[in-house]
Amino acid sequence: MSFNRCSNFTITAEQVSNVYGSQTNIRHLHGNLVLPAQQTRREQTKWDDYRHVQPCDVYLTRPLASDTQVERDETFKQDFNQFTHIRSPYVAQLFGYNDNQSGSLALIFYDALIPLSCVVFKNNELSPFLHTYFRHQLGLWQPRGSIDMGDLWINPRSGTLCIGPHVQIPSHEGSMLLSYPSNLTPNGHLPPLSIQTFSDTNTTFDYLTRTVPTLNIIRGITRCGSVFWKRMTDADAASILQTLPNTVYHFCSQKIIARVPVEVRDRIYYYLTGVYVISDAIRESLDVMEDGLVRFRVMPTDVQCVEGMTLQYFLSSANPFPHSWMTQAHRIFTQLCIDEDKWEEYGMHDAFCLLFKCKIQNSIPYETTSTTFKLGGAAPVYLFIRPIPQPSVNDKTWSSWAQGAKYFWSSDPFGKEEMSEAMQLPLALPSFTCEIVVCQQYWHQSAYDAIRMLHCYHYFDLSTTDLASSVGFPILEVVGDDNQFEACEDSVEMTSGFKGSEDNDIQNKASEEEDYSVLAELEEENGA
């Protein structure tokens, strides 16, 4: 038997089975008899839309950071569902997966993407120019956006950013990349830099000066500041919160070297930015009252959840103080004859938090507690956090706040009557200790070097205020420094990270999210 259009192809036999359709599994039973093997039909799933990769073809670069097999499986499925649900040029494109029985789970993406964190962090410090560059790149497709750096990857072919699987960033987990409030550029859009140029500071800087406004370059550099959270006594914290807002000072001695103009100082205030508490219901009941009291509504079912909470406060962003400082730091350091190797010892504070930890948890059974609430008609009760004094108030007010209780319980929704501990006992309401943790911010030498290059690019003298004036920042007052610093007391505890301030709503919100992750770590350390 021969077939048309087939070269040199002939079948010679007495019996042949003619099989229609596509057959991929053929079994030979007899020398001149061919029969199809039985095939099992199954329903197609979305897993069939992607390539199933054999373990021998997978080179593992990052294990899933989960403690148990169940958590690894869940993370794997969540990532798979996420990247099969969204198809976008700004989201990593899934090629295939591996789920072999040995437990090596893997998702395989196109283009050999590079984690952003591997590029923008140098020796655990944020690179000022690369950070500024990628803020600009993010703004081209998501203006005023805010994305966790651990979720961003670089396409090595195009140099563009995309969202991919989360990568943990040691010491900087939760760090956000914030795009600029406007993606307008002086000379239009240029193609992204190639990955080979990322190590060339001059090339990156040249790109920025041709595509990004000077104001946004300053914002990007300023945001590379590092922070540490320091536990303080109530008295020490009150002193810093009252006397040092919007000043640059030496961390150990608290000697002030620069501050905002007098006309700005009266406009500075603290405001609540975040709450960390186990119960969602309690957190959602938050209400900041006109007199500054912070109120939480607590239902009987939530009493046992009030083991502790953290409240975070920021300084108002009515003036761009960190940006003003960075544009004038060289002038002030030079005027006060402060050596470069001492610059990291100076900085500012712009946030603090109150850590409430349960010291007495009344052990009344839930059934009794619930009945007491009903019989007394006191459901719900209210937890009030006393108002934070503002920097402009007198010493007596700050001293009273530092020495007094930071909270109270009340059955009155307006907090007019405070409950004594004896009244709290039948309701199983806990008592708290309160710690104050202050956020202090500083900059590494790389950030000051980046600002120096910007001065030189515009032919501004470092000893002048020309750069600050060119972008409309207030001119800071220089405060004399006798250089006789007191001995530094050891910090009770510090938690490092980085953040900066921005003078627009989305930037402030993301900054708060970053610090909030640090506060969550402090809560875990407290056992709250």
Q: Indicate whether 512 pLDDT > 50.
A: no
Residue 152: φ, ψ to 5°: -105, 140
Does residue 514 have a pLDDT over 50?
no
Q: What is the average pLDDT across 14-28?
A: 46
Give yes or no: residues 329 and 375 share one domain: yes
Region 478-496: mean pLDDT is 50
- Exposed, middle or buried: residue 431 (CB in 10 Å: 0-12, 13-18, 19+)? middle
Per-residue pLDDT band at 52 (split at 50, 70, 90) = low
Domain-located, residue 28: no
Q: Is the pLDDT of residue 452 over 50?
A: yes
- Sheet of 114-115, strand order: 114-115, 152-154, 161-163
Give the pLDDT confidence score for residue 168 in this predicted structure: 83
Which residue among 212, 235, 253 closes a domain?
Answer: 212
Does the residue 297 lie in any domain? Answer: yes
Sign of CA dihedral 332, 209, 157, 51: positive
Strands (E), 55-160: 94-99, 105-109, 114-115, 121-122, 125-126, 146-148, 152-154
Direct distance between the N- and C-terminal alpha carbons of the chain, in angstroms, rounded to an integer? 84
pLDDT at 204: 96
pLDDT value, residue 38 = 53
pLDDT band at 492 (very low <50, low <70, confident <90, very high): very low
State the pLDDT at residue 481. Answer: 52
Q: Which of 144-148, 210-214, 324-328, 466-470 has the lowest mean pLDDT?
A: 144-148
* Percent with pLDDT over 70 in the chain: 68
Contacts of 451 (CB under 8 A, 6+ apart): 218, 221, 326, 327, 329, 330, 467
Q: Is the pLDDT of residue 426 over 60?
A: yes
Flag whether pLDDT at 141 surpasses 70: yes
Residue 404, phi-psi category: left (phi > 0), alpha (psi -120 to 50), beta (remainder) = beta
At 363 the pLDDT is: 52
Q: Is the pLDDT of residue 355 over 70?
A: yes
Token pair for 64:
């899933």
Q: Which of 173, 167, 161 is nearest to 107 (CA)?
A: 167
Q: Are residues 313 and 427 in the same domain?
A: yes
Lookup: tokens for 426:
């039948």
Query: Which residue range(s) make up the domain with 180?
Result: 114-212
pLDDT band at 500 (very low <50, low <70, confident <90, very high): very low
What pLDDT score does 351 carry? 92
Q: What is the mean pLDDT of the chain?
A: 78
pLDDT of residue 171: 74
Cα gap 12→2, rounded to integer Å = 9
**Among 155, 172, 58, 158, which Cα is nearest to 114's?**
155
Given 168, 183, 212, the domain boundary residue is 212
Indicate whether 502 pLDDT > 60.
no
Measured in whole angstroms, the distance separating CA 45 from the mean position of its chain's CA atoms is 36
- Residue 105 above 60 pLDDT? yes
Q: Is 70 exceeded by the pLDDT of residue 482?
A: no
How much is the pTM? 0.76
Per-residue pLDDT at 372: 45
Residues 240 and 385 in one domain: yes
Dist. CA 482–CA 473, nearest whole Å: 27
Decide if pLDDT at 192 tops 60.
yes
Spatial CB neighbours of 369, under 8 Å, sequence gap ≥ 6: 300, 303, 427, 428
More confident residue, 391 or 52: 391
Q: Sorting pLDDT into bands at 50, 70 and 90, what band is 163?
A: confident
Domain check: are 180 and 153 in the same one?
A: yes
> Per the domain annotation, does 151 fall within a domain?
yes
- Residue 311 is predicted with a pLDDT of 96
Is there a domain that residue 437 lies in? yes
Better-predicted residue by pLDDT, 400 or 267 = 400
Residues 333 and 294 placed together within one structural domain of the fold:
yes
Number of structural domains in the chain:
2
| Three-state secondary structure call for residue 413 | coil
Residues 334 and 193 grouped into a single domain? no
pLDDT of residue 495: 44
- The angle at the Cα of 220, spanning 217 to 225, to the nearest 5 degrees, equals 135
At residue 458, does pLDDT exceed 60?
Answer: yes
Q: Are residues 388 and 328 in the same domain?
A: yes
Contact in structure between 455 and 470 (CB atoms under 8 Å): no
End position of a domain, from candidates 212, 240, 258:
212
Give yes or no for residue 525 having a pLDDT over 50. no
Report which of residues 48 and 507 the model is more confident about: 48
Which tens digits make up the pLDDT trace of 407-416? 999 999 999 9
pLDDT for residue 382: 94
Do 194 and 326 share a domain, yes or no?
no
Q: Which residues contact 257 (CB under 8 A, 6 or more apart)?
A: 248, 249, 250, 332, 336, 338, 346, 478, 479, 481
Q: Report the alpha-carbon distance of residue 280 to residue 267 in Å, rounded.
A: 34
Phi, psi torsion values for 398, nearest 5 degrees: -65, -40
Q: How confident is the model at residue 71 (pLDDT cuts 50, 70, 90)?
A: low
AA identity, residue 219: R
* C-alpha span between 265 and 271 (Å, rounded): 16
Burial 377-387 (b: 16+ CB within 10 A, else e): ebbbbbbbbbe
The pLDDT value recorded for residue 128 is 96
Of 6, 3, 33, nearest to 19 (Cα)?
33
pLDDT at site 92? 79
pLDDT at residue 357, as a whole number: 93
Distance CA 512, CA 312 (A): 9
Q: Is residue 274 part of a domain?
A: yes
Q: Is residue 259 part of a domain?
A: yes
Measured CA distances, 45 to 18, 48, 78, 84, 200 (Å): 31, 6, 16, 12, 47
Q: Do 450 and 315 share a structural domain?
A: yes
Query: Which has more pLDDT, 81 or 386?
Result: 386
Residue 54 has pLDDT above 70, yes or no: no
509, 514, 520, 521 alpha-carbon torsion, rounded to 10°: -170
200 falls within a domain = yes
241 in the same domain as 202: no
Clarify whether residues 151 and 231 are in a common domain: no
For residue 39, what pLDDT is reported?
56
Pair 279, 296: CB distance under 8 Å? no
Confidence (pLDDT) at 72:
65
55 occurs within a structural domain: no
Same-domain check for residues 436 and 515: yes
Residue 335 has pLDDT above 60, yes or no: yes
Per DSSP (E only), the strands in 71-119 are: 94-99, 105-109, 114-115
Highest-scoring range by mean pLDDT, 44-48, 164-168, 241-245, 517-521: 241-245
What percent of the chain shows pLDDT beyond 90? Answer: 46
